[in-house]
Amino acid sequence: MNAQGEDVVAGVRTPQTIDQLAEVMPEAYAQFVEICNKLEQHYRDMQDMEFTIEDKKLYMLQTRNGKRTAAAALKIACDLVDEGMISEEEAVCMIEPKSLDALLHPQFDPTALKAAKVVGHGLAASPGAACGKIVFTAEDATDWAQRGEKVVLVRLETSPEDIEGMHYAQGILTVRGGMTSHAAVVARGMGTCCVSGCGEIKMDEANKKFELAGRTYQEGDWISIDGSTGNIYGEAIPTADASIGGEFGRLMGWADKYRKLNVRTNADTPKDAAQARKFGAEGIGLCRTEHMFFDPDRIAAIREMIVSGTVEQRETALAKLEPMQQSDFEGIYEAMEGYPVTIRFLDPPLHEFVPTEEEDIQALAKEMKMDAEELKAVIADLHEFNPMMGHRGCRLDVTYPEIAAMQTRAIIKAALAVQGRHPEWELVPEIMIPLVGEAKELHFVKEIVVKIADELIAKSGMKLTYKVGTMIEIPRAALTADEIAKEAEFFSFGTNDLTQMTFGFSRDDAGKFLSAYYEKKIYEFDPFARLDQVGVGRLVKMAADLGRQTRPDLKLGICGEHGGDPSTIEFCHKVGLNYVSCSPFRVPIARLAAAQAAIKNPGK
Ligand code: PEP
Ligand code: MG
pLDDT, greater one: 381 or 454: 454
CA atoms within 13 A on the CB side of 523: 19
The protein residue whose alpha carbon is closest to atom 10 in ligand 1 is 497
Q: DSSP assignment of 127-140, as one string?
A: -SEEEEEEE-SHHH
Task: Specify the pLDDT at position 604.
Answer: 76
Active site residue 391: no
Residue of 392, 471, 586 best suited for mutating to test ligand 1, as the one with most atoms within 8 Å of CB? 471
Task: Specify the pLDDT at position 243.
Answer: 75
- Judged by average pLDDT, the poorest of 86-90, 184-188, 480-484 is 184-188
pLDDT at 16 over 90: no
Question: If you measure from the C-alpha of residue 452 to the centroid of ligand 1, how many angstroms do you get, rounded to a whole number?
Answer: 26
In short, whether 497's Cβ falls inside 6 Å of ligand 1 is: yes
Q: Mean per-residue pLDDT for 148-177?
A: 92
Top-level class of domain 106-240: alpha beta
From the CA of 349, give the closest atom in ligand 1.
10
- DSSP 8-class letter at 260: -
From the CA of 434, give the closest atom in ligand 1.
6
Q: Answer whether 489's CB lies under 8 Å from 555's CB.
A: yes
pLDDT tier for residue 508 given thresholds of 50, 70 and 90: confident
In short, whether 328's Cβ falls inside 6 Å of ligand 1 is: no
In short, whether 470's Cβ falls inside 6 Å of ligand 1 is: no
Q: Mean per-residue pLDDT for 176-203?
A: 90
Q: In the chain, what are the domain boundaries?
A: 1-67, 106-240, 259-349+384-600
Burial degree of 66 (CB within 10 A; 0-12, 13-18, 19+): middle
Residue of 286, 289, 472 best suited for mutating to test ligand 1, as the one with most atoms within 8 Å of CB? 286
> Which H helix or E strand runs over 467?
strand 467-472
Residue of 496, 508, 531, 586 best suited for mutating to test ligand 1, as the one with most atoms within 8 Å of CB? 496
Task: Specify the pLDDT at position 470.
Answer: 98
In short, whether 559's Cβ falls inside 6 Å of ligand 1 is: yes
From the CA of 497, give the closest atom in ligand 1.
2
The protein residue whose alpha carbon is closest to atom 4 in ligand 1 is 494
Of 263, 267, 273, give the one whose Cα is nearest residue 595. Answer: 263
Q: Is 209 helix (H, G, I), strand (E, B) or coil?
A: strand
The protein residue whose alpha carbon is closest to atom 9 in ligand 1 is 288
Which ligand minimizes its atom distance to the CA of 289? 1
Chain-centroid distance, C-alpha 55: 58
Question: Any idea which architecture 259-349+384-600 has in CATH?
Answer: Alpha-Beta Barrel (3.20)
Distance CA 278, CA 280 (A): 5
Residue of 288, 342, 565, 572 best suited for mutating to test ligand 1, as the one with most atoms within 8 Å of CB? 288
Question: If you measure from the C-alpha of residue 312 to the centroid of ligand 1, how many angstroms do you get, rounded to a whole number?
Answer: 30
pLDDT, greater one: 479 or 293: 479
From the CA of 494, give the closest atom in ligand 1.
3
In short, whether 560's Cβ falls inside 6 Å of ligand 1 is: yes
Question: If you measure from the C-alpha of residue 392 to the centroid of ligand 1, how many angstroms do you get, rounded to a whole number?
Answer: 12
Distance CA 398, CA 408 (A): 14
Distance CA 379, CA 376 (A): 5
Active site residue 559: yes
Question: If you measure from the C-alpha of residue 439 to the centroid of ligand 1, how many angstroms do you get, rounded to a whole number?
Answer: 19
Distance CA 167, CA 105 (A): 15
pLDDT tier for residue 79 given thresholds of 50, 70 and 90: very high
Of 247, 304, 222, give the one whose Cα is nearest residue 79. Answer: 247
Of 472, 517, 464, give the one whose Cα is nearest residue 492. Answer: 472
Question: If you measure from the C-alpha of residue 197 to the centroid of ligand 1, how many angstroms do you get, rounded to a whole number?
Answer: 19
- Residues with Cβ within 8 Å of 397's Cβ and at least 6 positions away in sequence, in order, are 345, 403, 404, 433, 444, 445, 448
Q: Mean per-residue pLDDT for 467-484?
A: 98
Q: Mean per-residue pLDDT for 255-269?
A: 97
- Judged by average pLDDT, the poorest of 178-182, 305-309, 364-368, 389-393 is 178-182
Catalytic residue among 78, 559, 572, 582: 559
> Which H helix or E strand runs over 155?
strand 151-155
Distance CA 553, CA 604 (A): 17
Question: If you measure from the C-alpha of residue 495 to the centroid of ligand 1, how many angstroms do you get, rounded to a whole number?
Answer: 7
With a pLDDT cut of 70, the percent of the chain lying above it is 100
pLDDT digits (tens, 9 = 90+) for 400-440: 999 999 999 999 999 999 999 999 999 999 999 999 999 99
Q: List the Cα angle 395/401/407 in 5-degree steps.
A: 95
pLDDT at 35 over 80: yes
Distance CA 332, CA 339 (A): 10
pTM over 0.85: yes
Question: If you measure from the C-alpha of residue 533 to the centroid of ligand 1, how many angstroms do you get, rounded to a whole number?
Answer: 18
Task: Give me the phi and psi of 107, to 5 degrees please.
Answer: -130, 160
Distance CA 469, CA 454 (A): 16
Question: If you measure from the C-alpha of residue 238 to the centroid of ligand 1, how many angstroms do you get, rounded to a whole number?
Answer: 35
Task: Specify the pLDDT at position 296.
Answer: 77
In short, whether 495's Cβ falls inside 6 Å of ligand 1 is: yes
pLDDT tier for residue 159 given thresholds of 50, 70 and 90: confident
Q: Return the beta strands (E) in 272-368 as ranges.
A: 284-288, 341-344
Question: Any idea which architecture 1-67 has in CATH?
Answer: 2-Layer Sandwich (3.30)
Task: Specify the pLDDT at position 39.
Answer: 97
From the CA of 560, give the closest atom in ligand 1.
3
Q: Answer whether 285's CB lies under 8 Å from 333's CB.
A: no
pLDDT tier for residue 323 given thresholds of 50, 70 and 90: very high
Task: Specify the pLDDT at position 161.
Answer: 82
The protein residue whose alpha carbon is closest to atom 8 in ligand 1 is 496
Task: Specify the pLDDT at position 271.
Answer: 93
Q: Mean per-residue pLDDT for 22-50?
A: 95
Of 519, 526, 529, 517, give the one whose Cα is nearest residue 569. Answer: 529
Task: Give me the phi and psi of 62, to 5 degrees please.
Answer: -170, 150
Distance CA 158, CA 187 (A): 10
In short, whether 179's Cβ falls inside 6 Å of ligand 1 is: no
- DSSP 8-class letter at 142: H
Residue type, 6: E
Task: Specify the pLDDT at position 9.
Answer: 72
Q: Mean per-residue pLDDT for 340-352?
A: 90
What dihedral do alpha carbons 580, 584, 588, 589 form, nearest 10°? -70
In short, whether 347's Cβ falls inside 6 Å of ligand 1 is: yes
Which ligand minimizes its atom distance to the CA of 536? 1
Q: DSSP assignment of 162-199, as one string?
A: GHHHHHH-SEEEESS--TTSHHHHHHHHHT-EEEE--T
Distance CA 439, CA 11 (A): 69
Q: Answer whether 284's CB lies under 8 Å from 336's CB.
A: yes
pLDDT digits (tens, 9 = 90+) for 541-579: 999 999 999 999 999 999 999 999 999 999 999 999 999
Q: Mean per-residue pLDDT for 191-200?
A: 93
Question: If you measure from the C-alpha of residue 473 to the centroid of ligand 2, how many angstroms do you get, rounded to a whole number?
Answer: 6
pLDDT digits (tens, 9 = 90+) for 511-543: 889 989 999 999 999 999 999 999 999 999 999
Task: Give me the phi and psi of 231, to 5 degrees please.
Answer: -75, 145
In short, whether 288's Cβ falls inside 6 Å of ligand 1 is: yes
Q: Answer whether 74's CB lies under 8 Å from 245's CB.
A: yes
Question: Are both 1-67 and 259-349+384-600 of the same fold?
Answer: no
